[in-house]
Amino acid sequence: MTGALGTAEIVLWGVLTFSILVVFHEMGHFLAARAFGVKVHEFMVGLPGPALRLHTKNMTWGVTAVPLGGYVRIAGMEPGAEDALVGDALVALRDEGPLDAAALAGILGVADERAAALLATAYDWKAATVDGERYTLDLEGEVRGLDAAALADHARASTYRGQSTWKRVTILAMGVITNLTLAILTFTIVLSVWGYYQLSTTIDTVAEDAPAASVDLAPGDVLVALDGQRIDRWDTFQLLMSRTRAGETVVLTVERDGAQRDVTITLAGREGHGYIGIGPTAELVRPGVIESLGESVRLTGLVFRAIVDLFNPVTFARSVEGVRGPVGISVMAAEAAQAGPLSYAGLIAMLSLSLGVMNILPIPPLDGGKIMMEIVERIMGRPVKRAVSVALSAVGAVLLFSLIGYIMYADIARLAQ
């Protein structure tokens, strides 16, 4: 497959696809932050590193040397409790600045390390600018005469940290909401304008030497149930089959000429799950806008269920077989682009849906995990300690990168076959 497409083509479409998805996701965070008056340092396309940058009055835009994905850096998102001397540091910058860490340490009577951290906080809040190692207070509005507490409140008001819980949760959730909205709107437009071929529960083909042939299943038979679980759609049948294994015995209920009968089948194996050897008939469906919207929402539910199964030890082994990582997605993107704009738009919608659903899971450092931490802090009435927050994020990152690494290995193994 890689030979037919070309490695460069696969890499190009992979990079473009991931960048589109992440940029839309980060745009959601950015727009929500700006809507609440929160300052933003930069919006970058690509991974952190050397970049081409455009500096505007309020922030920086750019493209990095590795244009894979993107990120937005919002003022005041540092974890942990706020230093009690941040207001005093801002007063010192106003009255004595510009200051470096050593000078601020002398004024406040603290260690140089703590003074450096206070200056970093002022810069992160966009309350100070830096020239070399010297920081200068840079705040809008009248700040003369404000005491330490009032000056800190003034600086904090335009940061993420200074927002109410519901605003912080909204900023975090808007990345997910943007991905889901993009997916649902794209699916709705594609389905309502061009329609789609729906795979029905009526059998169209029976593979030779497959379990289905040995039990006399035939084209025209209609699937009714698998082990008593009703089958009303072909994708329902696929989902049920994805939970089976080769060698298992199942009871398939089918309808022929108006009469139902139960067929006992011992499954063969394919792609890590059970295999019967039947193919469905395809019917062109042209739903209205409302029906298309409903179908898009239903698809969201299926994707959510599939992703949750990845984190369930009971269903992990079966679920991961059907998942594609960065390598597999890059191949799919190149194939979809080759097939035409409609196919590529459908792939973008599906991947956007998957990214949105994945990010809403309550696992740090995903957006869902950050939202969970915000709610916990609200209940506790104080910030979670920085060390605890960092540790939880590290554990979550190890879990996620381990999963991604395993999926990438499976991608490469499939391509090598």
Per-residue pLDDT tens over the stretch 87-132: 999 999 999 989 999 999 999 999 999 999 999 999 999 999 999 9
Are residue 218 and residue 339 in the same domain, yes or no? no
* 80 belongs to a structural domain: no
Sequence-separated (6 or more) residues with CB below 8 Å from residue 273 = 241, 242, 243, 244, 245, 246, 318, 321
Are residue 339 and residue 292 in the same domain, yes or no? yes
Kindly state the tokens that stand for 306: 């599939």
Q: What is the pLDDT at residue 417? A: 57
User: What does DSSP assign to residue 169?
Assistant: H
Domain CATH code at residue 240: 2.30.42.10
Are residue 321 and residue 417 in the same domain, yes or no? yes
* 10 belongs to a structural domain: no
The letter for the amino acid at 159 is: T
Angle of helix 112-124 relative to helix 86-96, nearest 10 degrees, comes to: 80
Domain that holds residue 262: 196-285
In tens, the pLDDT along 302-332 reads 887 777 777 777 766 666 666 676 777 788 8
Residue after which a domain boundary falls, among 259, 285, 311: 285
Domain CATH code at residue 115: 1.10.10.10
Q: What is the pLDDT at residue 3? A: 47
* 236 belongs to a structural domain: yes
* 280 belongs to a structural domain: yes
Are residue 116 and residue 251 in the same domain, yes or no? no
Residue 166, pLDDT above cutoff 90? yes
* 72 belongs to a structural domain: no
* Cα angle for residues 343, 406, 173 (degrees, 5° grid): 60
How many Å apart are CA 243 and CA 320, to the nearest integer?
Answer: 11
Share of the chain above pLDDT 70, in %: 93
Q: What is the pLDDT at residue 321? A: 67
How many Å apart are CA 39 and CA 114, to the nearest integer?
Answer: 24
Task: Note the pTM of the prediction, 2 decimals.
Answer: 0.74
Are residue 356 and residue 388 in the same domain, yes or no? yes
Are residue 189 and residue 298 in the same domain, yes or no? yes
Are residue 233 and residue 208 in the same domain, yes or no? yes
* 353 belongs to a structural domain: yes
User: What does DSSP assign to residue 50?
Assistant: S
How many Å apart are CA 48 and CA 59, to the nearest integer?
Answer: 16
Q: What is the pLDDT at residue 112? A: 96
Share of the chain above pLDDT 90, in %: 47
| Domains: count for the chain | 3
* 217 belongs to a structural domain: yes
Are residue 318 and residue 187 in the same domain, yes or no? yes
Are residue 269 and residue 313 in the same domain, yes or no? no
Are residue 385 and residue 340 in the same domain, yes or no? yes
Average pLDDT, the chain: 87
Kindly state the tokens that stand for 66: 């590795």
Task: Give 399's pLDDT tier (boundaries 50, 70, 90).
Answer: confident
The letter for the amino acid at 360 is: I
Are residue 344 and residue 293 in the same domain, yes or no? yes
* 53 belongs to a structural domain: no
When pLDDT is averaged across residues 397-415 and rounded to a whole number, the result is: 72
Residue after which a domain boundary falls, among 285, 316, 349: 285
When pLDDT is averaged across residues 171-193 and rounded to a whole number, the result is: 90
Are residue 243 and residue 116 in the same domain, yes or no? no
Residue after which a domain boundary falls, among 265, 285, 305: 285
Half-sphere exposure of 401 (CA within 13 A, CB side): 7
